[in-house]
Amino acid sequence: MNLYRHHFTDGSEFAAVPGKQVCVGRNYAEHAKELGNEIPDTPLLFMKPATAMVAMAEPLELPTGDGSCHHELELALLIGQPLSRAAPGQCRAAVAGIGLALDLTLRDLQSELKKKGQPWERAKAFDGASPLSAFIAFEQDLDFASLKLRLTRNGGVQQQGSCADMLFSVETLLSEISHNFSLMPGDVVLTGTPAGVGPLCSGDHLLCELEGLLKVETVVL
């Protein structure tokens, strides 16, 4: 049984139990291009269940038998208040914390599903598909565009990007999501990944960073 719970960086536990995750695909133009995908005109949304969430700091266990599993480092938003059909200017008040997520993706399986016009969940929503860091308590005056992400694999930088390069801002994403799926305390929003995604291998050491704010080290089993 998955015993994951949301925690803040001070060690305190978030009161609400983990809920759904709403994820955003292709929110960085360079990442869309590296996979040969079209750049979307509106946010591309998909979901992961609570059972996908695990602690990023724990060793990562990857599925076997479905081809390569890629890392996709993302800014994660912990929702602290209900949000439904909200305007962009109303959305920041619903954010309780910011952190990091790895949107683990079975890339070969995803490619097969895309060719068949089928949903991606088998490739992205499996148990353990969303390792999460502890969350930093959100400050309302934070400039999301100032945040920078970096993933270092075995000492080499694999992914790095700035949230300023998002095609759709955090506020725009939260508003769009809230008009399709109400967000509730304990839900998490993943905001997209910068370029540089690639396959993980057993024994890989990862350093995931939210520059100047958060660092998480982990290893692939």
C-alpha to C-alpha distances, 202 to 91, 110, 123, 180, nearest whole angstrom:
39, 21, 19, 38
* Residue 1 pLDDT level (bands cut at 50, 70, 90): low
What pLDDT does 33 receive?
74
- pTM of the shown model: 0.96
What are the helix (H) ranges across 24-181?
29-34, 107-115, 121-124, 170-178
Domain positions in the chain are 21-219
Decide if pLDDT at 30 tops 90: no
Write the burial class of residue 3 (CB in 10 Å: 0-12 exposed, 13-18 middle, 19+ buried).
exposed
pLDDT digits (tens, 9 = 90+) for 142-186: 999 999 999 999 999 999 999 999 999 999 999 999 999 999 999
Decide if pLDDT at 112 tops 70: yes
Rounded to 5 degrees, what are φ and ψ at 117? 70, 25
* Residue 38 pLDDT level (bands cut at 50, 70, 90): confident
* Residue 15 pLDDT level (bands cut at 50, 70, 90): very high
Nearest of 130, 161, 132, 149 to residue 32 by alpha carbon: 161
pLDDT digits (tens, 9 = 90+) for 49-105: 999 999 999 999 999 999 999 999 999 999 999 999 999 999 999 999 999 999 999
Decide if pLDDT at 44 tops 90: yes
Nearest of 82, 54, 99, 86 to residue 186 by alpha carbon: 82
**CA–CA separation, 19 vs 50, rounded Å?**
5
CATH class of 21-219: alpha beta
pLDDT digits (tens, 9 = 90+) for 117-131: 999 999 999 999 999
Those residues with Cβ within 8 angstroms of residue 169's Cβ, 6 or more apart along the chain or in another chain: 88, 144, 145
Decide if pLDDT at 32 tops 80: no
Q: Residue with structure tokens 């962009």?
A: 88
Amino acid at residue number 148:
K
* Residue 29 pLDDT level (bands cut at 50, 70, 90): confident
Give the mean model confidence (pLDDT) for residues 106-114. 95
* Residue 39 pLDDT level (bands cut at 50, 70, 90): confident
Coil, strand or helix at 5 = coil
